[in-house]
Structure 1
Amino acid sequence: MTAITLPPGPTAPQFVQALQALAAPRRGMHRLRDRYGDAFTVNVPPYGRALVISDPAEVRQLFLAGSDAADKPDRNLGHVLGPGSLFALMGEEHRRQRKLLVPPFHGRRLTAYEKTVEEETVRELASWPQGRGFATLPSMTRITLNVILRAVFGAEGAEFSELRELLPRMIKLGSWLTLLPGPRAELGRLSPWGRFRGMRREYDAIVARLIAKAERDDALDEHDDILALMLRSRYDDGTGMSRGDIADQLLTLLAAGHETTATTLAWAVERLRRHPAVLRALADEVDAGGSALREATILEVERTRPVIDLVARQVRADGLRVGRWTVPQGYVVAVSIALLHDDESVFPDARTFDPARFLDARPDLYQWIPFGGGIRRCLGAAFANLEMNVVLRTMLRDVVLLPAVEPDERWHSRGVANAPARGGRAVVRRRADAAPTPTVATTTAARS
């Protein structure tokens, strides 16, 4: 291998860099780019020393690297989701599991979940107050959780209620534990890891009951929830998934698609209230039965307000060449999603919220990466976008979302996702009772 070549970066101790990253992750990345350019080295937990890149060509090269050259970091959500999680698996075993899980999230199968999303959205909208401000993030979180419990877990009755109470606490704690060093000893049930393990045992018992119910169901072949599809699926050698792997993958699908989707929906509310011309056009499109602008708007929200900071790979080969850099084995290479999405050479006038940029062009999946990229791109990306599409369509159909005059909401880290600091506040009126939407001194060219 040729000599190691890495760009410069901050030299402060790891704990100082960690505090700076936690205090202002997005603003901090932009400051580092302004000082060092589009690539720099950092030293932050959980990765340690890492190369951060945002050049589109280098991002593409990283994502196209084979799993033998660069794969998941040792430290990721797999640490808390279980050994059978896609986040934990590598190489051939990851490919094997992913192949089994792809069909439920693509093509005609997706349409089976549309009714579930609409039902949950209508139920939640009925609780929204009229004429006064409230945070939409809790509502969006309830919608996405209920959708996943029904569409993915196939849960109902007691199991539905138990999982709805347990899983938000479990995922919240697990997302923070991901950032901490792994446990070296059992510290008791009152320690963070002890609490998480207790929750995991409770979760496994509930899932075991769901599996047992499904296996006793003579009509299992007619069910379209993901659990039923997992139970029916078979690897190339004819074997099925183990019960432990099913439990790990169900938890993985929840962790990857619950809070992130809810947070993006809250950001959509925050963005649309500050761009009333887009908001009016979307309402008109819903009334006309269209969807093109709504789909483009979702893509633009995901570009301008990505809820995940970084996509990372760890070098597994003796060394890896990424554009100008030669990265040593064990080093993490992280892609800054925000820096890539704000790149003027990729997205002209990048700081402007402009859904029209995606009306006639689909995004390049090596440049627009809210779901990551390459062999580890989020399996449920199509499901998440379908869910957001139906939630926004139903919301715009049933209520008037009033424009905002207050400043943009700031970014707030919730461990897994970066959320609007005030929860995506909204003021709404029922469509049947609504007066014409007022105008405000805001334009679609407003800077974010």
Structure 2
Amino acid sequence: MSGTSGAGLPPGPPIPSMVQLMLMARWWPQFVAACRRRYGNVFTLRNTMMGPMVYLGDPDDIKTVFAGDPRIFHAGEANSMLAGLLGDSSVLVIDGDAHRERRRLMMAPFHRDAVARQAETMAEIAAQNIAGWPVGRPFAVAPKTSEITLEVILRTVIGASDPARLAALREVMPRLLNVGLWQSLAIAKPKLLGRRPWRRLQECMAEADRLLYDEIAERRADPDLASRTDALAMLIQAGADDDTAMSDKQLRDQLITLLVAGHDTTATGLAWALERLTRHPDVLAKAVAAADSGDDEYLDAVAKETLRVRPVVPDVGRIIKEPVEIAGYRLPAGVMVVPSITLVHSSAAVYPRSEDFDPDRMLGASLSPTTWLPFGGGNRRCLGAGFAMVEMRVVLREILRRVELATTTDPDEKMRLKHVILTPRRGAQITVRARRPVDGDFGAQTSDERNLAHRNH
């Protein structure tokens, strides 16, 4: 373990909390990495919004948190600043028995077979979007991957099919999800929403709610509800047998949560994958060969290595509810402990040549939940992790099959913090050199995906 035995908090930078907040907002990974170089794998940061935060970069210390009693380690409370957007019944902002029960009700759409049924739809959506990409000139691909993942969410999770409502959701959701630091203040402190600077955000949230409640009402009235494959239909049916079914408000909160947690994160992961591939010609050539041959293992390795070297979310938090011994320190109740994804993923002790983008390291690797943790861990590991990994693989396959990407010697794109997500600063600039001929089927599913889809229809 890190640190030396003692009471109180580990050491940290002796600079004002407001300055620390500004440093984290502008240079989060760099600031945290600098603190590790100065203080080691455990240190305390302070900022005016979150209070004292004890950062953990040692997998053994992180295991203590992830395996800890959820009655003591509260992730929902640590995420409370999101409640203004997600709602107070969101699975991300509740703790204890309520969280365990809500998570149980939400499992069905994310089982392996349920996700496999959506792979063909993901491929169709990707292919249609890729067909409109420009050829021969650089463009930011992050907005394109965002369009793809939003459409996937709208059609597979929400199950929207009414053309007018789909169009309205396509327009309002990006405005709601792409909030900046200024709007984030009102999400963290919802009382601000009624004031003039934030009224547009309030109107946007109200419009999103109207559309989602209309979808919920339409789905509840659908005589074919039991045969539908969208997540909303499954969520409505969940708990019906034991009187634990979710209310309309609870369903709305989970839909917004899935949109926030499953749209921009996956889109950003895809953008980073393309940014990395175009700077590593040998890896790109292997990825193209894998896409052409249906080699899921290598495409999965590309996705895993991308999420290691460019984690979309830099860390996760838990508020401790009673004193706990971690990393040689007895931490008092009320402190937030922060398993740092960026610190672990960039650790040379865990990943030799950690700065290298090397998907081969992921082939056949037995990944520990405390050494590869882009989706968090413990009882709060992202419900949609399997969905996101399939989506990354399917979309990457379609991109690499359908266009020829130019490689570049440009410097790596720097990371920019957008709300709680680390995005490519320039939007992941790429150039499509040419279109590649493909056969007629959009999906180009692997045999495993075809068999699963067939078995479940």
Q: Which residues of structure 2 form unaligned runs of 5+?
A: 439-457
Please tell me the root mean square deviation across aligned C-alpha atoms, in Å.
1.9
Aligned to 2:179: 173
1:130-279 pair list within 5 angstroms: 130-156=135-161, 157-173=163-179, 177-178=183-184, 182-183=188-189, 185=191, 188=194, 190-192=196-198, 194-234=199-239, 237-279=242-284
Q: CA deviation at 1:220?
A: 1.3
Letter in 2 for 1:302: L
Aligned to 1:12: 15
Of 67, 71, 76, which residue of structure 1 is paired with 2:70? 67
Of 301, 305, 318, which residue of structure 2 is paired with 1:300? 305
2:382 corresponds to 1:378: yes
2:363 corresponds to 1:362: no
Q: Deviations over 1:118-145 (max 9, x none)?
A: 1111111111111211110010000000
Question: Which has the higher mean CA deviation after the structures are superposed, 246-255 or 4-13?
Answer: 4-13
2:319 corresponds to 1:323: no
Of 317, 334, 341, which residue of structure 2 is paired with 1:337? 341
Aligned to 2:448: none
Of 85, 89, 105, which residue of structure 2 is paired with 1:100? 105
Q: Assess, with a 3 A threshold, how the Cα gap between structure 1 residues 186 and 369 changes in structure 2: closer, same or farther.
A: closer
Q: CA deviation at 1:188?
A: 3.2
Q: Secondary structure at the match of 1:50?
A: strand
Q: Retained in 1: the 8 A contact 2:26–2:416?
A: no
2:127 corresponds to 1:122: yes
Distance (Å, rounded) in 2 between the aligned partners of 1:186 and 1:178: 10
Distance (Å, rounded) in 2 between the aligned partners of 1:137 and 1:162: 21
2:49 corresponds to 1:43: no
Q: CA deviation at 1:402?
A: 1.4
Q: Deviations over 1:279-321 (max 9, x none)?
A: 111111222221111111100000000011221000112x011
Distance (Å, rounded) in 2 between the aligned partners of 1:127 and 1:6: 53
Q: CA deviation at 1:377?
A: 1.0
Aligned to 1:90: 95
Q: How many residues align?
A: 430
2:433 corresponds to 1:424: no
Q: Secondary structure at the match of 1:196?
A: helix
Distance (Å, rounded) in 2 between the aligned partners of 1:18 and 1:197: 25
Identity of aligned residues (%): 37
Q: Assess, with a 3 A threshold, how the Cα gap between structure 1 residues 185 and 364 changes in structure 2: closer, same or farther.
A: closer
Q: Secondary structure at the match of 1:77?
A: helix
Q: Assess, with a 3 A threshold, how the Cα gap between structure 1 residues 178 and 328 changes in structure 2: closer, same or farther.
A: farther
Q: Assess, with a 3 A threshold, how the Cα gap between structure 1 residues 33 and 244 changes in structure 2: closer, same or farther.
A: same
Q: CA deviation at 1:176?
A: 5.6
TM-score by length of 2: 0.90
Distance (Å, rounded) in 2 between the aligned partners of 1:186 and 1:18: 20
Q: CA deviation at 1:74?
A: 5.9
TM-score by length of 1: 0.92
Q: Retained in 2: the 8 A contact 1:189–1:195?
A: no
Q: Secondary structure at the match of 1:368?
A: coil
Q: Which residues of structure 1 form unaligned runs of 5+?
A: 434-448
Distance (Å, rounded) in 1 between the aligned partners of 2:25 and 2:370: 26
Q: Deviations over 1:389-420 (max 9, x none)?
A: 00000111111111112111111122231111
Aligned to 1:413: 417
Aligned to 2:454: none
Q: Retained in 2: the 8 A contact 1:117–1:147?
A: yes
Distance (Å, rounded) in 2 between the aligned partners of 1:363 and 1:178: 34
Q: CA deviation at 1:82?
A: 0.3
Of 391, 394, 399, which residue of structure 2 is paired with 1:390? 394
